[in-house]
Amino acid sequence: MLLYCLEVSLCWLVFFGFYWILLRKDTFFEVQRSYLLGSLVLGFLIPTLVLFPSNVWRNGLFTIFLEEITVTATTTIDAAPVTPNYNINWLLVIYLLITSVLLFRFAWGLFQIICLVRKSEISKRKSYLLVNTKEEHAPFSFFKLLFINNALIAEEEERRQIMRHEEAHIEGWHSLDVILLEFLTILFWFNPLLFLYRNALRIVHEYLADAEVLKTTPTAKYGRMLLSQAFPGIRLANNFNHSQLQKRINMMTKAKSTRISLLKYVTIFPLVLLMMIFFSCQETVDSTVKLEKTKEIKEETPTESIIVDDSEVFNFVQEMPRFAGCEDITGDDDKRKTCAEKKMLEFIYKNIQYPKDAREKGIEGMIVLNFIVEKDGSITNTKVLRSLEGGLKEEGLRVVNSMPKWIPGKQDGETVRVKFNLPIRFKLQE
């Protein structure tokens, strides 16, 4: 989980850095909003994508990989009476405590809005409800509710501009974005990038609403009105003066971005592809480990082979060797492979043990074993490509060497020798 959170943060960092450097000064506000929301979602998804999934019996660089096998073991407790020892995960306690405080603050914001609605005068408009309050606050909107204190707005023209601004928030469903970012910051409050995203998205909301007002109002006149409307607001709402006024006024007076500037957004696609490839490669390394080359070969073919003990050994053949026990399945090669895989896993899980020394020392990790399935199906030339201490290496060798004979592989109708790698991950569970 920690690794996933780090990978998500890395995605968000790249995406937000791209926005901050290249996109934030443009006037394509709808595109910016879509980019910010889309990059948040992609940040969650990309670390989970695997472009090159590790399939059972797949053809590797020089050998065939079997699916990684995870061996777990539980710690043992002596039967003799002992004093209870309650281990508290303080990091989890701190996380839950801060999350609870943020949830309470979120609920308090909703409660404030409900209270305003209950004690205010409500009138129905075409696409929303107008809530005329008696509290001193800036005009704001929340979903289909528009809150305004008419007593604080003297001029009808100012009231018209404010209403149009908040109507733009309602029509654009900006409150959905606000709620989404609130929940994300509650759950991932430890990630500062979400606060940057939240602030960036809210200022884009204001740019969008300002642009709607400026369609019918001179910029100078609207800017003066913005400066005159400075009241405290409610955090969960789309407050009329929510963002920094200086940024909004600067954006209102800025020249519209040219259409050629949209070409910058095209570069997002290769950026996303590169990140998908990067995280996919990371996943492949984690689940199968890198293969140590036994021989440099410039050109590879599906039947590539090397010479071991003066005899040819293949990496991939037309009929791959299979763990014995599935010979009664005929006519469906995929079913035989699935059955053989299941039989092999059952054998390993039944026979492998977590070494006591490794358990006591808390040693975990992956070992990778390399072996050859001979022409008669026996296992030979077993060796360790990736090792761990505490007896894990020896246990892996013992189990592999105790395997019964396999169904040998065939190439052009003749039985041949085939090499395999077998990753086994040892993991302790409390």
The verdict on residue 81 lying in a domain is no
Q: What is the pLDDT of residue 430?
A: 55
The DSSP string of 18-53 is HIIIIITTSS-HHHHHHHHHHHHHHHHHGGG--SS-
Which DSSP letter does residue 63 get? S
Of 275, 309, 334, the residue at which a domain comes to its end is 275
Q: Mean pLDDT, to the nearest integer, of 262-271?
A: 86
The verdict on residue 83 lying in a domain is no
Range of the domain at 123: 2-51+89-275
Q: Three-state SS string across 96-161, please?
A: HHHHHHHHHHHHHHHHHHHHHHHCCEEEECCCCEEEECCCCCCCEEECCEEEECHHHCCCHHHHHH
| Separation in Å, CA 163 to CA 168, 223, 279 | 9, 15, 47
Of 241, 275, 309, the residue at which a domain comes to its end is 275
Tokens representing 404? 């019964």
The verdict on residue 84 lying in a domain is no
Count of C-beta atoms within a 10 Å radius of residue 121: 10
The DSSP string of 64-97 is EEPPPEEEEEEPP--SS---------HHHHHHHH
Give yes or no: residues 269 and 317 share one domain: no
Give yes or no: residues 413 and 353 share one domain: yes
The verdict on residue 183 lying in a domain is yes
Give yes or no: residues 412 and 318 share one domain: yes
The verdict on residue 285 lying in a domain is no
Give yes or no: residues 260 and 295 share one domain: no
Give yes or no: residues 172 and 252 share one domain: yes
With beta carbons less than 8 A apart as the criterion, state whether 385 and 288 touch: no
The verdict on residue 101 lying in a domain is yes
In the predicted structure, residue 119 carries a pLDDT above the cut 50: yes
Give yes or no: residues 256 and 323 share one domain: no
Give yes or no: residues 178 and 312 share one domain: no
| Separation in Å, CA 185 to CA 102, 179, 332 | 9, 10, 51
Which pLDDT band, with edges at 50, 70 and 90, does 211 fall under?
Answer: very high
Which pLDDT band, with edges at 50, 70 and 90, does 310 fall under?
Answer: low
Question: Which string of b and e fits 133-166 if b means at least 16 CB within 10 Å?
Answer: beeebbbbbbbebbbbbeebbeeeebbebbbbbb
d(CA 112, CA 127): 23
Q: What is the pLDDT of residue 273?
A: 87
Q: Mean pLDDT, to the nearest integer, of 303-320?
A: 74
Does the reported pTM lie above 0.85? no
Domain count, the chain: 2
Give yes or no: residues 213 and 351 share one domain: no
Q: What is the pLDDT of residue 18?
A: 92
In terms of average pLDDT, the best of 128-137, 147-156, 269-278 is: 128-137
Give yes or no: residues 227 and 317 share one domain: no
Q: What is the pLDDT of residue 76?
A: 38
Q: Which of 429, 427, 422 is nearest to 347 (CA)?
A: 422
Q: What is the pLDDT of residue 69?
A: 58
With beta carbons less than 8 A apart as the criterion, state whether 174 and 30 touch: no
Q: What is the pLDDT of residue 89?
A: 80
pLDDT tens, position by position, 344-364: 888 888 888 888 888 888 888
pLDDT tens, position by position, 85-118: 555 688 889 999 999 999 999 999 999 999 999 9
Amino acid at 239: N
Which pLDDT band, with edges at 50, 70 and 90, does 271 fall under?
Answer: confident
Of 275, 298, 319, the residue at which a domain comes to its end is 275
Which of 59-63, 132-136, 425-429 has the lowest average pLDDT? Answer: 59-63
Q: Which helix (H) or strand (E) holds 313?
A: strand 311-314
Question: What is the tally of helices (H) and strands (E) in the chain?
Answer: 13, 14
Q: What is the pLDDT of residue 309?
A: 65
Give yes or no: residues 299 and 226 share one domain: no
Which of 55-69, 299-313, 382-396 has the lowest average pLDDT? Answer: 55-69
Give yes or no: residues 125 and 264 share one domain: yes
Which DSSP letter does residue 407 get? B
pLDDT tens, position by position, 292-306: 333 333 333 445 666
With beta carbons less than 8 A apart as the criterion, state whether 390 and 363 touch: yes
The verdict on residue 44 lying in a domain is yes
d(CA 36, CA 39): 5
In the predicted structure, residue 131 carries a pLDDT above the cut 50: yes
The verdict on residue 28 lying in a domain is yes
Give yes or no: residues 176 and 227 share one domain: yes
